[in-house]
Amino acid sequence: MSLQGPIIVVADAPVPLLLDRLAGAGAFPLVEARGHQVAEAVRSVQPAAIILADPDALADPAVGDALEDALAAVGQLFVPVITCVRGDAASTFGPALPIDADAPLGRLIARLRAALRVRTLHGSVLRRAASLQESGGEAPDLPDGDPLDDATVIVTGRGRAYPALTVTFGERVGLTGALSLEAASRILHGRDIDGIVIGDGFSKRMVEMFLAELGADARFRDLPVGVLEDVVTDFDPERLPNLERVTGDPARIADRVLPLVRIHAFSGRLRRMAISLDAKGVVDPHTGLRTRAAFLRDLAHAVGHAADRGNGLALARISLANPEDSRLSLDAARIVARLVRTSDFACRDQDGTILVAFTDTGLGPAHVVARRIASVLRHTALAPGRERGTLDTSVAIAALNGRDTVDTLIARVSSDGMVAAG
């Protein structure tokens, strides 16, 4: 991907080597600015990205505040900011993506290229939403708020650092733990994950093999990966541009990794929004399931079709022990979105439970599938709290009979009919 600018490079001293490498990678135009000039530069050129090449460029909090105000004024489109930091320090500018000031320039350029991919996706989604509205359609709203609110991170390890890391990350984002790299790999392939922290307790060779597996899979190319083991310098940055060596206490590690997790979670929102636009707003961009209104329309059609042709139809309601926990409910909904068969459809209901309609399916087969989904939820999502225990789920299921309407079918899977999921 080309590095289309303008790109502002902020430093109080000349950085000719960085500018040459950026130009050699196709970045154009490049705009140099000192720390106190950065806000004015943003207003003047409306950049595609900003590189804070000097770790002290925003040492004055007022400069950071001015930059944040300037970025907010240039429009909706995402503008990535990459900041060089020293050692295990975190970014002094909250929205920025940190990178070690001593990292190879190739790693900085790869990270910039990855961040610009998110900007390109954001621009595409905004244009498509505007086009849909101009043609008389109703575009869904892009989820707002901090993307970390619905991000999920894997923490894996089996050394002394593992318990503290899980507590620290679990207090700030959704968490799933793994005591082995094999378990972490299974989770990555089974649900939406926005970052992974590889703790202590694994050999360097094991970590290298795991990273090679991630780097070979295009789905994980931009995944943030924080590694305690010193393997980062030997890895091709283009294959995992958000790979970061992390050191320090768990809070410092979280401060270093979570800005990268935030942009990955934002990218996930954009991808779900693009799917929703493809479906003309039928898909909920928060969950990847049907919107409730679309689900009820589809269920009414399915009830009529089954009644006319005598085909089977079953409805299941999957409930969580704590459905009002929005973080937990969202996790569960996104997992179900990956599990439902192409012939079936589902939504997250107003109370946080999940409704799944099984078309052309009798009660027995539908019950088997519903219990399997609930079982996967129990073993994939984690209950909230420091204990992070397995999630309690329950399922109620009903098959369409000759007297049913949409309302009566939904009523028959109300909480009164719940049974424990296996």
pLDDT at 323: 59
Once rounded to an integer, what is the mean pLDDT over residues 142-149?
87
Q: Using an 8 Å Cβ cutoff, are 355 and 406 in contact?
A: no
Has residue 324 got a pLDDT over 80? no
Residue-level pLDDT at 394: 87
Comparison of pLDDT for 165 and 87, the residue scoring more: 165
Q: What's residue 409's pLDDT?
A: 93
Is pLDDT above 90 for 92? no
Do residues 241 and 113 make contact, with C-beta atoms less than 8 angstroms apart?
yes
Higher pLDDT, 353 or 91: 353
- Where b means 16+ CB within 10 Å and e means fewer, 95-113 reads bbbbbbeebebebbbbbbb
pLDDT digits (tens, 9 = 90+) for 195-206: 999 999 899 899
Range of lowest pLDDT (31-45, 84-98, 334-348): 84-98
What would the mean pLDDT of 20-41 be, rounded to a whole number? 93
Percent pLDDT > 90 in the chain is 56
Average pLDDT over residues 252-281: 93
359 pLDDT tier (thresholds 50, 70, 90): very high
Amino acid 64: pLDDT? 87
Q: What is residue 190's predicted lDDT score, i.e. its pLDDT?
A: 81
CA distance 30 to 47: 9
Which of 20-24, 71-75, 413-417 has the highest average model confidence (pLDDT)?
20-24
SS3 46: coil
With b meaning 16 or more CB within 10 Å and e meaning fewer, what string describes 42-54? beebebbbbbbbb
Whether the pLDDT of residue 373 is over 50: the answer is yes
Task: Dump pLDDT digits (tens) for 382-415.
Answer: 554 444 445 678 899 999 998 889 999 999 998 5
Domains of the chain: 4-138 (3.40.50.2300), 147-261 (3.40.50.2300), 287-420 (3.30.70.270)
Q: Quick one: pLDDT at residue 87?
A: 80
pLDDT of residue 326: 74
> For residue 293, what are its two tokens?
């209104």
Give the pLDDT confidence score for residue 420 in this predicted structure: 38
User: Which pLDDT value is given to residue 32?
Assistant: 94
pLDDT at 236 over 60: yes
SS3 letters across 79-146: CCEEEEECCCCCCCCCCCEEEECCCCHHHHHHHHHHHHHHHHHHHHHHHHHHHHHHCCCCCCCCCCCC
Using alpha carbons, select from 283, 312, 280, 308 the residue that is nearest to residue 295: 283
The pLDDT score that the predictor gives to residue 143 is: 80
Residue 89 has a pLDDT of: 78
Looking at residue 384, its pLDDT comes to 47
Closest by CA to 99, choosing from 40, 49, 28, is: 49
Q: Which residues contact 205 (CB under 8 A, 6 or more apart)?
A: none
The yes-or-no verdict on residue 84 having pLDDT over 60 is yes
Q: What is the pLDDT of residue 138?
A: 78
Q: How many Å apart are CA 20 and CA 13, to the nearest integer?
A: 15
